[in-house]
Structure 1
Amino acid sequence: MTLSLILRDAETGDFGAAISSSSPAVAARCINLAPGVGGANSQNVTDPRLGFQLIEQLRSGSGAEAALEAVVRGADPETIGYRQLLVLDTSGKAAVFTGDRALGTFGEVTRENGVAGGNMLANLGVLDALVDAALAAEGPLERRLMAGLKAAVAAGGEEGPLHSAGLSVVTDAGWRVTDLRVDWADEDPIEQLEMLLDRWMVERDDYINRGINPHAAPSYGVPGDE
């Protein structure tokens, strides 16, 4: 019921993740990013705690493979078979775990600086389209993530309809400079997410500047913001 992607920008070291699912609020439950540390997605029958644990393993200095091995080894053996975990580290190395109780057609694709995984997919080519379109795209990391999501849908997407989607990016600013979600849409949440992204990218850098240097931040003319 989920397809997802984590990317690392090889030039800046920034991380981003994108995800879509038939279930509600998928991005809120599944995406984990930490500036200068890496990214981890916890999905399928989701245990959000595993994503937090993967980030902590990366933060302690483990690479993607070692982080994944440690979290899987320490997980409840009665439930780990339901989980799918993706992790990407600061060297651009990726690792994936998919339990033997994953749903439907499932799989993963790893590339340098990118990893995609999914379950209940229309076909496994969806994952190649997801990661390869994103890695081939140009522009801000947000736009590359969106290119991946759109390519995944064009390649078949999930077996059933998608209802939620989200994407997030972290930079050296120290927080999620982009964190956009469509928590439920009756149809085409990725199109709605792209509309949000178009609106957000116009002012993203201004809001970064507000956090770092508020004296130089522009006003938008709303009451109390003059």
Structure 2
Amino acid sequence: MTFSIVARCAKTGMFGVAVSSSSPAVAARCAYAQAGVGAVASQNVTDPTLGTRGLELMARGASAAETIAILKRTGSHTDYRQVLAVDASGLSAIHSGPKALGIWSQARADNVACGGNLLAHDGVPQAMVDAFIASEGHLGDRIIAAMRAALKAGGEAGPVHSAGMKLVRDVAWPVADLRCDWTDDCPVEQLATIWELYKPQLDAYVTRAINPTEAPSYGVPGDE
């Protein structure tokens, strides 16, 4: 009931993860990323601890492949889980258990891994990877391109209702954590709209947190 992407920008070191599903608020359970460490998506009969544990392992020096191997070996009911990871070196790895739901598939390359379950067909993750590799610019733009490619390729077998994207870079908090938790329209397009609004302000929000005296105007009535 889900398709997702974890990715790293080779130029900036930024990490991102995005996910969409027929379930409500999917990003609240499935999207994990830490600046300087990596990104993880935990999905399909979701165990959120796989996301937090995956980041802990990579923070301690495990590669994406080592992290996935440890999670597969030590996690519970891993036959039901899908877990995607990308690490600080841009290496990626995926585990898809044999009891993943419906048509499930996965694809990966340097700096990116994509996977899904209950898909329209098994080519959806590869279409996402291809779109990410072919795209340029901000990591958020490239991730949105991959999510749109998933929809164009058929996406989930049924309609999706929620989507989210998390980006991390330099600081301890996500520099973007955007979500559409439920809609009867297209959540990926709603996420794309939110991203276009947020992107021009992303750096300013970070500056305001670190040093408000250097922050640009808030641009609201009463701000002088």
Q: For this structure pair, what is the TM-score category when the shorter chain's length is used for normalisation? A: over 0.9
Q: Spell out the pairing of 1:128-143 with structure 2 (5 A cutoff).
A: 128-143=126-141
Which residue of the partner structure matches residue 210 of structure 1? 208
Structure 2 SS opposite 1:72? helix
Which residue of the partner structure matches residue 147 of structure 1? 145
Q: Spell out the pairing of 1:95-174 with structure 2 (5 A cutoff).
A: 95-174=93-172
Task: For 2:196 and 2:37, locate their aligned partners in 1 and report how far apart those are by CA, in whole Å.
Answer: 27
Superimposed CA distance per residue, residues 25-64 of structure 1 (whole angstroms, 9 cap, x where no aligned partner): 1111101101100111100000101111111110111111
Percent of aligned positions that are identical = 49
| Contact persistence 2:105–2:123 (CA under 8 A) | no
Structure 1 SS opposite 2:17? strand
Which residue of the partner structure matches residue 82 of structure 2? 84
Uncovered stretches (5+) of structure 1, i.e. residues with no partner: none
* Aligned amino acid, residue 71 of structure 1: L
In angstroms, what is the RMSD of aligned CA positions?
1.3
Which residue of the partner structure matches residue 13 of structure 1? 13
| Runs (4+) off by over 3 Å | 221-226
Aligned residues: 224
| Contact persistence 2:4–2:114 (CA under 8 A) | yes
Task: For 1:41 and 1:87, locate their aligned partners in 2 and report how far apart those are by CA, in whole Å.
Answer: 7
Q: Spell out the pairing of 1:180-195 with structure 2 (5 A cutoff).
A: 180-195=178-193
Task: For 1:37 and 1:117, locate their aligned partners in 2 and report how far apart those are by CA, in whole Å.
Answer: 20
Q: TM-score, with normalisation over the residues of structure 1? A: 0.95
* Aligned amino acid, residue 141 of structure 2: R
Q: TM-score, with normalisation over the residues of structure 2? A: 0.96
* Aligned amino acid, residue 106 of structure 1: W
Uncovered stretches (5+) of structure 2, i.e. residues with no partner: none
Q: Alpha-carbon deviation of 1:173?
A: 3.0
| Contact persistence 1:161–1:187 (CA under 8 A) | no
Distance 1:220 1:51, change over 3 A: same
Q: Alpha-carbon deviation of 1:163?
A: 0.3
Q: Alpha-carbon deviation of 1:139?
A: 1.3
Task: For 2:50 and 2:191, locate their aligned partners in 1 and report how far apart those are by CA, in whole Å.
Answer: 26
Task: For 2:172 and 2:134, locate their aligned partners in 1 and report how far apart those are by CA, in whole Å.
Answer: 26
Task: For 2:66 and 2:101, locate their aligned partners in 1 and report how far apart those are by CA, in whole Å.
Answer: 25
Task: For 1:144 and 1:172, locate their aligned partners in 2 and report how far apart those are by CA, in whole Å.
Answer: 19
